Amino acid sequence: ISTLPISTELIAEHNAALMASVDEDYDALGRKLSRTGVDIDVVKNKVAEFTVAVPSWGAGRGGTRFAKFPIPGEPTNIHEKLEDCAVINQLSQATPRVSPHFPWDKVDDYSALREEAASLGLGFDAVNSNTFQDQLGQAHSYSTGSLSSTDAATRAQAVEHNIECIEIGQKLGSTDLTVWVGDGTNFPGQQDLGRSLDRYLDSAAEVYAALPGTWRMLLEHKMFEPAFYSSVISDWGSSILAAQSLGDKCKCLVDLGHHAPNVNIEQIVARLHRFGKLGGFHFNDSKYGDDDLDSGSINPHQLFLVFNELIEAELHPREGFNPAYMIDQSHNVTDPIESMMASADAILTAYTKAILVDRQGLTAAQEANDTMLAFQALRSAYKTDTSPILAKVRQEKGGAIDMIQAYRTSKYRERKSQARKPVGLGSGIV
Ligand code: PSV
Ligand code: MN
Ligand code: MN
């Protein structure tokens, strides 16, 4: 497609210079894997099919409540964000869908936006609603909560916004609505803990009732922030109970940064799957809280263990297993395009390593209560350097072997810094 932002000749030239060494490494890894009966091409083909969505809001430089440090050439609207997402997909060949957030990505003509995305090689993923911020001109403030607000008119407004998001999503070709609410309290006694959940469930049921046939509603839990004493949907327990009471089309979404420190997230994944409620992921990494750091930058082993559970889930499917995979990060000190390409690579790496786990060996060791061999089944896959597989997949699909190097050679951001209007300081903090 001629509207793609990076020249295909540039990518081809870049790959030509690196191809011989990739082939050499791929062949060596292939020989190593074949000694344990693994066909590297089979692994490669499986990896080639895996994709992860990127968040529209991740294309801009994030920020914290203290500051935001914009970079020249940063996107300021959904059109520019789509263009940046197209760069990520062109070079990674792993991120063909964008997850929009409303009203941040509001436009007049959504059919035109869908076409614009398609011309960039992109489609749309889950639609995200936003009832955690007040917008200019909004009738009722969300300071008392949104879907669980004590005020009926505020709850109605939040329900209506979610239904509007579904309507927009239909025009964009989405089939999932992700609902994260910041609802909760900052003081003991501020709201009744039982009744706030009742109100949430009643409002969420109204949104659920508006889901078109094939649509799913994904509930995203988060332990704290912005509420610092209690959150209405604080954990996977609240999330699965809500999803179970809402109905089959409601599932749970796991954002890796939304748990208490040291929580066993891979076990949560296994539990949600056991009850057919694993709906999707927001990938990121964290050290302290909802840090929104780049996927795999702090704890790549945890990411691998999550994917290990996903492979188990794939092999033992429960009804409706089809998780929506997405990145949800805030890029405060890097170029968001580079961060998301590196994150897609980290996510695909975790997936590839999980594929390499000797499942039969693992199960046999588990059955025999051979703890060390069971652990070694995971360890040996985790230790494998899978980068030749990922490089080969990218090259074969038309992406770049070294994404960051190709991106920098393209001078895309420099070009955009000439063409795009500068971001105002202090604006756009989420
Ligand atoms: C909340 O922390 C969250 O993870 C939700 O997914 C939001 O939609 C997103 O971040 C953007 O603020
Ligand atoms: Mn999230
Ligand atoms: Mn978050």
The pLDDT tens digits for 88-127 are 999 999 999 999 999 999 999 999 999 999 999 999 999 9
Residue with tokens 């704890």: 299
Q: Which ligand is nearest to the CA of 430?
A: 1
Give residue 180 CA to ligand 1 midpoint distance, Å.
7
Phi, psi of 262 (to 5 degrees): 70, 5
pLDDT of residue 3: 87
pLDDT of residue 429: 43
Which among 220, 1, 26 is positioned nearest to 96, based on CA atoms? Answer: 1
Q: What is the DSSP string of 276-305?
A: T-EEEEEE-B-SSSS--BPTTSS-HHHHHH
Instruction: Judge if the beta carbon of residue 220 lies within 6 A of ligand 1.
Output: yes
Instruction: Judge if the beta carbon of residue 328 lies within 6 A of ligand 1.
Output: yes
- pLDDT, tens digit, for every residue of 54-90? 999 999 999 888 999 999 999 999 999 999 999 999 9
Task: Give the pLDDT mean for 286-307.
Answer: 98
Task: Give the pLDDT mean for 157-167.
Answer: 99
Evaluated on CA atoms 228, 230, 236, 239, the torsion sign reads negative
Give residue 126 CA to ligand 2 midpoint distance, Å.
12
Q: Which ligand is nearest to the CA of 130?
A: 1
- pLDDT, tens digit, for every residue of 198-222? 999 999 999 999 999 999 999 999 9
Return the CA Rg of the chain.
22
pLDDT band at 2 (very low <50, low <70, confident <90, very high): low
Q: For the chain, what are the domain ranges?
A: 8-419
pLDDT of residue 422: 87
* Sheet-wide strand order for 250-255: 101-102, 127-129, 176-179, 216-220, 250-255, 278-283, 324-327
Give residue 179 CA to ligand 1 midpoint distance, Å.
9
Helix (H), strand (E), coil (C) string for 173-193:
CCCEEEECCCCEECCCCCCCH
| ipTM higher than the 0.85 cut | yes
Task: Give the pLDDT mean for 407-426.
Answer: 91
Q: What is the mean pLDDT of the chain?
A: 97
Among residues of the chain, what percentage have pLDDT more than 90?
96
Residue with tokens 């083909």: 45
Give residue 7 CA to ligand 1 midpoint distance, Å.
33
Q: How far is CA 292 from CA 249, 267, 288, in A?
A: 28, 21, 10
For 8-419, which CATH superfamily applies?
Divalent-metal-dependent TIM barrel enzymes (3.20.20.150)
